Structure 1
C-alpha cells in the first residue's frame, strides 16, 4: 500500500513571463518515506517542476499541498513549506556562499532562530551524514566539485526537512562520487527523509527509485519504477532509453535463467555476483 503523500502538486499549470506554457494541469504526489525519480529529457521542465514543489515558483493555476494542507504563498506559508521541503540545485556554486563549510551549513539553522547549541547539533549531524566533518573549516572555494555537492546537500540536511529535493545530483560526479552520494541518500532515507531526485539517467532511476515521474511533451506519468520503466512507448515519448538493468533482466528471463517474478541485477556488479552465484558465464 502506497503511503499518503507528504507533498502534492494538484492540477498545476505554469508559464514563465512572456514565455510558452511549461505545464498545464500537472499533478504529482510524493509518497512519504519513498524515493522518487523525476525523469525527462534536458529542457523538458524537470527543474521548473522541482521549484514548484519547494515554493520557489508559484503555479499560475492549481495548488500545492504539504501533509494535506494547502500551501499559501505569503511569508508564513512559505516559511512552513521550506522548513519541511529543501531543494538542492544542480550547481552547488548557486548555493554555497559562506567562507567555510561549517559556516555555510549553519546558515539555515541560524535563520530559524535556533539556540547556539541546537545549531551546533544540526551542523554536526549534517556534516557527519554527508561524510564531510573533516572539511568543516575548509574554504568552500577550495573544495572539489564532489565535495561542494556534498556541502550543498549538508546545508539542506541541517534543516531536517521531511522532503529533500535534488536537481541532477550526480551530474559532474565520477563513478566513485556517484556511489558515495547514493550511499548517503540511502542513509538519509533510513532516517525518515523522503527524497526526490531529478535526472535523465534511466539506469540510475532503475537502481535507486521506488517510484518515477516521467515528463513527456503531453504531460506527466507517475507510478512504480518497475512498471513505468518497462513501458517502451512511454520512454520513447520522453526521449529516454530503456534501462540497462531491465534489458539484462529480460534477456535472463528469456533464457529461463531467471524466474518470471524474481528481481534481476540492476548494476554490472550485481550481474557479476549473480553470474558467480548461478554459475553462469
Structure 2
C-alpha cells in the first residue's frame, strides 16, 4: 500500500520566541494528503506555534518547512503559494473576522488573489454552503453567535480552496450541538478532498474524528494512528492528557472477555449502543462479572 503523499512538512524544525527558551526543537512532522490529524498536548506544549510554522505565520528558527517536497521560500511568491495551499483558522474567530458582513469577510481572500468577480462569487457561495451558513451571507459579523462566527471564520479559509485546512481548537467554546454541526461540516470538506489538521485538548474528540494523532510532550513530538497513541498511558501521562472514554470502555470490555483483542474499539457512546444492540445479553453478563 502506497503511503499518502506529504503536502506540507517540518524537517528538524525549531523555534524560540525572542529572549525565550526553545518552544520546539528538532521537530519532524508531515501532513499527508487526505488525512484527518489531531494535534494534542498540554497548554504551553507548542501546539499553536507548530500550527503557525506550518502555515507560514512564523518562520522556523532552525530546520525547514517543505511544501510538496520543496523548501518554502519566505518571499512574496513562496508565501503566496504556501497560503493558497495551507490555511490556518485561529482559535478566536474575533481575531480573524473583520469585514462588515459574512459574505464580505469570506470574499476577502479570493479577492486578494486577483480572481475574476464571478470566480470570487462562486468560491464564496461554495464556502458558505460547505459550512451551512448561506442564510448568514448578509448578516453583520458583530451580530453572529459564537458558533456562527466560528463557522464564518472557517468559511473564509475554505474559500481559498486550500489542500490543507489547519484549525486551532475549533470546537472550544461551542455547545454540543454546535460541535456536531461543525464536525458535520468538516466531514463534508474531507469528502471533497481537503486534508484537515486540528489542534485540540479533547481526547474523546480526537479519538472519534481523527485518523492520526500527533502528541506533543516534553520528550518531543510523536505521531501515529490515533487509537494506538491514545492507548499509550505513558505518553498520555507525559503529555498531561487524560485517557479517552472509548479506550477506557474498550479495556473494561476486554477485561470481561466481551471484546476481542483485534475488535474495533467503541469511539463514541453511539458506537457502544450499537455494540450492545448487537450483543444484548453481554451487558448483564458483564455486570455480573464485575460484582
SS at match of 1:13: strand
Match of 1:201 in 2: 202
Within the alignment, does 1:69 sit opposite 2:70 as a pair?
yes
CA distance in 2, matches of 1:221, 1:118: 41
CA displacement 1:40-74 (0-9 Å, x = unmatched): 00121100000000000001110011111110111
Structure 1: state its 5+ residue gaps.
none
CA distance in 2, matches of 1:200, 1:116: 40
| Cα separation, partners in 2 of 1:15 and 1:203, compared to 1, 3 Å | same
- For the pair shown, the structure with the greater C-alpha radius of gyration is 2
CA distance in 2, matches of 1:199, 1:25: 22
Match of 1:171 in 2: 172
For residues 55-66 of structure 1, what are the structure 2 equivalents within 5 Å?
55-66=56-67
| Structure 1 residue runs of 4 or more that deviate by more than 3 Å after TM superposition | none
Match of 2:124 in 1: 123
CA shift, 1:7, in A, is: 0.8
SS at match of 1:14: strand
Match of 1:274 in 2: 275
Within the alignment, does 1:190 sit opposite 2:191 as a pair?
yes
Deviates more, 1:180-189 or 1:150-159: 180-189
SS at match of 1:64: strand
Match of 1:37 in 2: 38
SS at match of 1:262: coil
CA displacement 1:165-221 (0-9 Å, x = unmatched): 000000000011111111111110110000000011111111111111100012111
CA shift, 1:273, in A, is: 2.4
Q: Normalising by the residue count of structure 1, what TM-score does the alignment of the two structures yield? A: 0.98
Match of 1:264 in 2: 265
CA distance in 1, matches of 2:261, 2:188: 31
Match of 1:228 in 2: 229
For residues 219-258 of structure 1, what are the structure 2 equivalents within 5 Å?
219-258=220-259
Match of 2:113 in 1: 112
Structure 2: state its 5+ residue gaps.
284-291
Match of 2:87 in 1: 86
CA shift, 1:32, in A, is: 0.8
SS at match of 1:234: helix
CA distance in 2, matches of 1:264, 1:23: 33
SS at match of 2:161: coil
Match of 1:147 in 2: 148
Deviates more, 1:66-75 or 1:123-132: 66-75
SS at match of 2:157: helix
SS at match of 2:276: helix
CA displacement 1:4-41 (0-9 Å, x = unmatched): 21111000010111111111111101111001100000
Aligned-CA RMSD value: 0.9
Deviates more, 1:89-98 or 1:218-227: 218-227
CA shift, 1:269, in A, is: 2.1
Match of 2:286 in 1: none
